[in-house]
Amino acid sequence: MPKVTMPQLGETVAEGTVTKWFKAVGEPVDKGEALFEVSTDKVDTEIPSPAGGTLTAILVPAGQTVDVGTTLGLIDEEPEAAAGDAPRARPGARLDVEDGAVDSPLPATSTRRAGGAGAERLSPVVRRLLAEHHLEPGDVLGTGPAGRITREDVLAHVAAVSAPAGDEAAAVSPVVRRLLREHGLSISDVTGTGPGGRVQRRDVEAAAAALAAGSRADEVVPFSTIRRLTAEHMVRSKATSAHTLMVREIDYENVERARRRHGPSFKEREGFSLTYLPFNAVATVQALGEFPHLNASVGDDALVVHAAVNLGIAVDLDGQGLVVPVVRDAAALTLREMAVRVRALATGARSKRLTVDDMSHGTFTITNPGPYGTLMTGAIINQPQVAILATDGVSRKPVVVTGADGEELIAIHSIGLVALTFDHRVIDGAYAARFLARLAEILETRDWASEL
């Protein structure tokens, strides 16, 4: 019987906390399907099931911290799961379809298969009734064992959708009846917006939301593991470093011309838009090569200047917390490679697919609130680093430029601010200012178009 164990999520990680089980004991699970979530001091990660079958035991409940290698649960590996056959129906699973919306505890992929490949589990009578009324299996709420569709289910569905408009109690689908029951509502509590005033699923959900809003009180949201650790890290950083902020205006017109010229072909080739972030990242890495004391950490009464630039990119997890995946050996990457690598890390962080190693050994960090139109951000240093760069919003503004014959002209350029927070214990203002001046020069003069 396959065991579910606490994985090794990083070379320095010895333990992890089970924060959530996605399956209950007795539920089927496919190999590779997300089974549980683990939290460490750096990352929350969804762990896939090592085998297909039925989860027969959970030995470590959510909220418990255990060592790497500890057995967390057991799976009874069924032959059909191992062979990759059609998915088994989950106990109590139902396919409820109305107005094009699917309501099911099954994942979307399993839902689609249940409506097609699951048809062989139907009786001849049910198949005939479905065909007569031009229905698909996924159109009907199954109330039989394991959610199987019975003859009565088909007849009830047909009666509901064909009931006269005035017969309000009957002219609702099984989905609506279930929702009314779950929310403690009667048909008279809901205003129908369907044909002939028929009550639909969205009507019940709207009525339930309005009822909840009327009785709403202050919500207490406990800190998640990652939110608590982020808070502790930020407070510790402010107490450790002598934070100092320095800001520089950047004329991004050179970058903008490259984006306008090559952006469409880049998106067609790579599948995502070419933003300002990879330009800022490449320019930052180049500037750090000339100002290495910013690519450093504070050691034991000493400044540790790192040989390689491992560039951290701060990623917001939809308000749930902040993580900093790391682009290793960033100086070796081209502009296109940087864009692809940053995109992959951000996507992996938000989908909880990164490991602790993906977020370790950073030497300098960029935080990028610019897409939200920020003006200037004083970021907190990511310890034990000595600096962090915030790249804020870029907008079109009138600027003074020098014409071909030396006269001053007014032009419209893309302008933004970059803000460097540095540790004044080890970095002086003049050094930080020269770094920002060099960063601006690179962004404003480098031949970006040739790199795309």
DSSP 30: -
Q: Which of 175, 169, 173, 206 is nearest to 187 (CA)?
A: 169
Q: Is the peptide bond before 2 cis (omega within 30 degrees of 0)?
A: no
103, 203, 424, 447: which is the annotated catalytic residue? 424
Q: What is the dihedral of CA 252, 258, 259, 265, to 10 degrees?
A: -170
Report the C-alpha gap between 310 and 302 in whole angstroms.
Answer: 20
Count helices and strands (H / E) in the chain: 11, 20
Q: Is 447 marked active-site?
A: no
Separation of alpha carbons 379 and 364, rounded Å: 13
Distance CA 392, CA 277 (A): 10
Q: 């369907």: which residue's tokens?
A: 194
402 residue type, one letter: T
> Quick count: other Cβ atoms within 10 Å of Cβ 401?
14
Rg of the Cα atoms in the chain: 29
Residue 414 falls in which region: left (phi positive, over 0), alpha (psi -120 to 50) or beta: beta
Q: Among 30, 28, 22, which residue's Cα sits nearest to residue 84?
A: 30
Q: In the annotation, is 424 catalytic? A: yes
Q: What is the DSSP letter of 194?
A: S
Sheet containing strand 3-5, strands side by side:
3-5, 71-76, 53-58, 28-29
Structure tokens at 170: 């009957």
Structure tokens at 417: 């601010």
In whole angstroms, give the CA distance from residue 365 to residue 383.
10
Active-site option among 189, 405, 428, 447: 428
Catalytic residue numbers, as ranges = 424, 428
